[in-house]
Structure 1
Amino acid sequence: MKKLSKYEQVVDYLKDGIESEKFPTGSRLPSIRSISQDFHCSKDTVQRALLELRYEKYIYSKPQSGYYVLEQQSSHEDLQILVNDEHLGAYDDFRLCVNETLIGRENYLYNYYEHQEGLEELRQSVQKLLFEQAIYSKPDQLVLTSGTQQALFILSQIDFPSQAQEILVEQPTYHRMNQLLQAQNLPYQTIERRIDGIDLNELEQHFKTGKIKFFYTIPRFHYPLGHSYSEQEKRAILDLAAKYQIYIVEDDYLGDLDPKMGQTFHYLDQNGLVIYIKSFSTSLFPALRITAIILPNAIKKDFVSYKNILDYDNNLIMQKALSLYIDSQLFEKNRLARLVLQEKNQAQIQKLVNSYPISLPSYPLHDGLLLDLRQYSKIASLKHSPLDLDFFESSYLGTCPYQFVKVPLEVIQATLKYLKTELA
């Protein structure tokens, strides 16, 4: 009998563990290091085995976390979610643009770029891209930063015309915004963001204090609740901002996935009070640290001056590659592909919810399912289950109330099965 190689032993061990439910659906596999120690093999051997299992749809990877067990084929096979890496096609196309950028463009490698606003070609490309999405700006209003975090950091540091100091943030909200406030001990106020929006009367009370420097909000596909403001709500918020001269920082990080291309705060703004932020890291892949921000003239000079302190210039190779990627319509091609995948997954999610009727309110997200746990008395049971669930702990500045949970696409079916048993 042929002796199995270390690679084959690792593959068989993990497959057996998954099929026997030693590693249940949604659970995290042992680390690469621990497996390599158990089998006395190299980490490369383990990584190769994990890639094989990922290819065979046994597992999926979660950035900076590890590998998790996928729902296996069952009698509900026709209801399987389309577990595709939505960034793979974009990555392959972008790599072509990077290669093209490196050919005959040594000036991007050996020279500094004096314009802190970012590469002119890319700013022109982004302006055209945004114009097609009804987000209008002049070229001199656009500034490129090394990710959204840098943009938010600079906004938190510079003075605004009102000289106010406190930042108003929704709760829950983007976890890095919370980290920014806490790490710098910045003064802030909070307003509750619910699955149906915010209380406009409460918002006005915050604005009336005269202490608000800017209001940070995620109008479309709010992170983490998935809610989007209606046009009526946006106009009402803008009216309050104009009344009290409060700037709105609009983080439109998932705007590309809005099939209706709803109107933004920036589009509706008539008073130059909206700062619009668009992240290309979210649209393409996380390692692409390029964000575009549209700045009102009143704060642009101070913003660019402060940016000059942080970095002399952005990565010119990546900026030029992104410019090529946008101009060659590859960005639009992959945006439409993601919309198609999102639409199919939304339909499959609804089928799954219908096939496992539970009493908990649920809301489809672009990358999973949101469950409302406010009427669920067994939260501790769900929290300590082997399922890979997100309770949004880092999205709250205070104690997480555990009112909502996000179920990733890969484990929706397993979670609904679990809840159906628990709620029976």
Structure 2
Amino acid sequence: MKKQSKYQEVVSYLKNAIESGRFPTGSRLPSIRQLSLDFHCSKDTIQRALLELRHEQYLYAKPQSGYYVLEQGQHQDLEIEVTDEHASAYDDFRLCVNETLIGRENYLFNYYDNHEGLDELRQSVHKLLFEQGLYCKPDQLVLTSGTQQALFILSQITFPSQTTDILVEQPTYHRMNRLLIAQGLSYQTIERRINGIDIEELESHFKTGKIKFFYTIPRFHYPLGHSYSEEEKKSILSLASQYNVFIVEDDYLGDLDAKKNPSFHYLDREDRVIYIKSFSTSLFPALRITALILPNCIKEAFVAYKNILDYDSNLIMQKALSLYIDSQLFEKNRLARLVGQDRYQKQLEEIVDRLPCPLPHFPLHDGVLLDLTHYPKIASLKHSQLGLDFFEDAYLGACPYQFVKVSLDNLEKVLNYLKAELD
């Protein structure tokens, strides 16, 4: 029988004590300090256990007082039904922030001299990535204040190849485009189509010998929604190896990949993939924390440059995110978002089934992509109140107006307009 971890031991003991009546309803639990002494473990381990029991509605907290036992049987009625996955994630994370502020004055009144990021969070992220099939050494992980800071540092530091050009897909993440223009950086572009890129065209760029790194969004590409197949990733990696090019893999929606397709980083055998994981898109935009897996050959330069930009990312938020991950709340809300995606797909299918004619479309995680070659009249709705997104900022040059994103709420309105025009 597998031995329980100290964390599991604490959770099991307190559950049994509550259910057996040793800790009756309304009674106050021993302090975190006392429990850590009783179980010979850290205060963080105790806090993780108490947070899980609070989430499962065994306990409730009184500010500046402690944890108290909730009436048994009541917790079943209080079980949260996830109707809005974003609201649930917000509530859970707020709980973690509150827990973080208890007895952690050192995070408020002291500096932290590890520029790679808070050790607790790096350990939490390392475990999370391992569970997602992203294997790395803990010392390869670096935390930044959002993806924009990570991309900026990568654009500024010198790579081993001493090359200068950044290769970007078009269309792509609008902030990457802005970064290139604002800094006057040397770049090359390759067209990303609804079915991927031209591998021969990619090789022609790599052959120039100027490419510093290829920035790509392999899964759920922004804005087209396309994901590379495993075969395409292997072909791109082979070319990167042949021409000594690094790949910056922005996996901003990797958490929504129910199939768990292998990443570039997983397939990489030569330590030339820089993996970026944003927590802003997984939770909410205001959480400016991003994790990178960096090849050893560029990590020192990256961390040195980061030290120039800021002393460290918000320690309270880093600790709260660590607690959020370790308490399985991140996984809970990730699964809730996957359920939400399934619900969205069913709604989309119901709308499409009601249409009088076939709808060439491509599902996105937050809308529907329509091909304007089939619906050129939609361009006339650019200034309407329907919230259409033509992705102007996703192009470095003039927007070709090839695609438009329509929210599910507005899809029928747009299609009714088209039907009226056709009639």
TM-score for the superposition, normalised by structure 2:
0.79
- State the Cα deviation string for residues 95-149 of structure 1 (Å, max 9, x = none): 0100000000111000000000000000000000000000011110000000000
312-321 vs 410-419, which moves further: 410-419
Partner of 2:60: none
Amino acid at match of 2:90: Y
How far, CA to CA, are the matches of 2:141 and 2:120 in structure 1?
Answer: 12
Whether the aligned pair in 1 keeps the contact of 2:217 and 2:249 (CA below 8 Å) is: yes
SS at match of 2:224: coil
Whether the aligned pair in 1 keeps the contact of 2:360 and 2:374 (CA below 8 Å) is: no
Partner of 2:409: 410
Whether the aligned pair in 1 keeps the contact of 2:352 and 2:359 (CA below 8 Å) is: no
Amino acid at match of 1:283: S
- Pair 1:215–1:252, CA change in 2 (3 A): same
Partner of 1:214: 213
Does residue 248 (structure 1) correspond to residue 244 (structure 2)? The answer is no
Amino acid at match of 1:340: V
- Give unpaired runs (5+ residues) of structure 1: 1-82
Partner of 2:107: 108
Residues paired across the two proteins, number: 342
Amino acid at match of 1:387: L
SS at match of 2:133: coil
Shift of 1:387: 1.4
Does residue 169 (structure 1) correspond to residue 168 (structure 2)? The answer is yes
Partner of 2:290: 291
How far, CA to CA, are the matches of 2:220 and 2:394 in structure 1?
Answer: 15
1:195-274 alignment, distance < 5 Å: 195-274=194-273
How far, CA to CA, are the matches of 2:189 and 2:218 in structure 1?
Answer: 16
Shift of 1:190: 0.2
Shift of 1:355: 1.0
Shift of 1:335: 0.2
SS at match of 2:181: helix
Partner of 2:118: 119
Shift of 1:313: 1.1
Amino acid at match of 2:260: M
1:371-386 alignment, distance < 5 Å: 371-386=370-385
How far, CA to CA, are the matches of 1:283 and 1:410 in structure 2?
Answer: 22
Partner of 1:301: 300
- Pair 1:175–1:84, CA change in 2 (3 A): farther
1:345-364 alignment, distance < 5 Å: 345-358=344-357, 361-364=360-363
1:51-130 alignment, distance < 5 Å: 85-130=84-129
Partner of 1:277: 276
SS at match of 2:189: strand
Amino acid at match of 1:373: L
Does residue 191 (structure 1) correspond to residue 171 (structure 2)? The answer is no
How far, CA to CA, are the matches of 2:379 and 2:194 in structure 1?
Answer: 22
- Give unpaired runs (5+ residues) of structure 2: 1-81
Amino acid at match of 2:301: D
Whether the aligned pair in 2 keeps the contact of 1:220 and 1:255 (CA below 8 Å) is: yes
How far, CA to CA, are the matches of 2:353 and 2:229 in structure 1?
Answer: 27
- State the Cα deviation string for residues 324-358 of structure 1 (Å, max 9, x = none): 00000000000000000101101111221221244
Amino acid at match of 1:295: L
Whether the aligned pair in 2 keeps the contact of 1:358 and 1:420 (CA below 8 Å) is: no
Question: Larger RCO: Structure 1 or Structure 2 (Cα < 8 Å, ≥ 6 residues apart)?
Answer: 1
- State the Cα deviation string for residues 153-197 of structure 1 (Å, max 9, x = none): 000000001111010000000000000001111110000000000
SS at match of 1:216: strand
Whether the aligned pair in 1 keeps the contact of 2:116 and 2:141 (CA below 8 Å) is: yes
Partner of 2:181: 182
Whether the aligned pair in 2 keeps the contact of 1:360 and 1:372 (CA below 8 Å) is: no
- Pair 1:104–1:232, CA change in 2 (3 A): same
- Pair 1:185–1:357, CA change in 2 (3 A): farther
Amino acid at match of 2:156: Q
Whether the aligned pair in 2 keeps the contact of 1:356 and 1:417 (CA below 8 Å) is: no
Does residue 392 (structure 1) correspond to residue 391 (structure 2)? The answer is yes
How far, CA to CA, are the matches of 2:311 and 2:236 in structure 1?
Answer: 37
- Pair 1:402–1:85, CA change in 2 (3 A): farther
How far, CA to CA, are the matches of 2:415 and 2:84 in structure 1?
Answer: 23
Shift of 1:418: 1.9
376-385 vs 410-419, which moves further: 376-385
SS at match of 2:376: coil
1:128-143 alignment, distance < 5 Å: 128-143=127-142
287-296 vs 380-389, which moves further: 380-389
SS at match of 1:412: helix
Partner of 2:420: 421
Whether the aligned pair in 1 keeps the contact of 2:370 and 2:404 (CA below 8 Å) is: yes
Partner of 1:156: 155
- State the Cα deviation string for residues 51-103 of structure 1 (Å, max 9, x = none): xxxxxxxxxxxxxxxxxxxxxxxxxxxxxxxx965311000000010000000
How far, CA to CA, are the matches of 1:358 and 1:214 in structure 2?
Answer: 44
192-201 vs 410-419, which moves further: 410-419
Whether the aligned pair in 2 keeps the contact of 1:358 and 1:423 (CA below 8 Å) is: no
Whether the aligned pair in 1 keeps the contact of 2:377 and 2:418 (CA below 8 Å) is: no
- State the Cα deviation string for residues 227-248 of structure 1 (Å, max 9, x = none): 0000010001000001101000
SS at match of 1:378: helix
SS at match of 1:278: strand
- Pair 1:353–1:84, CA change in 2 (3 A): farther
- Pair 1:358–1:309, CA change in 2 (3 A): farther
- Pair 1:201–1:207, CA change in 2 (3 A): same
Identity %: 76
How far, CA to CA, are the matches of 1:261 and 1:420 in structure 2?
Answer: 39
375-384 vs 98-107, which moves further: 375-384
TM-score for the superposition, normalised by structure 1:
0.79
Quote the RMSD (CA, aligned, Å). 1.3
Amino acid at match of 1:420: K
SS at match of 2:305: helix
How far, CA to CA, are the matches of 1:348 and 1:174 in structure 2?
Answer: 27
Partner of 2:319: 320
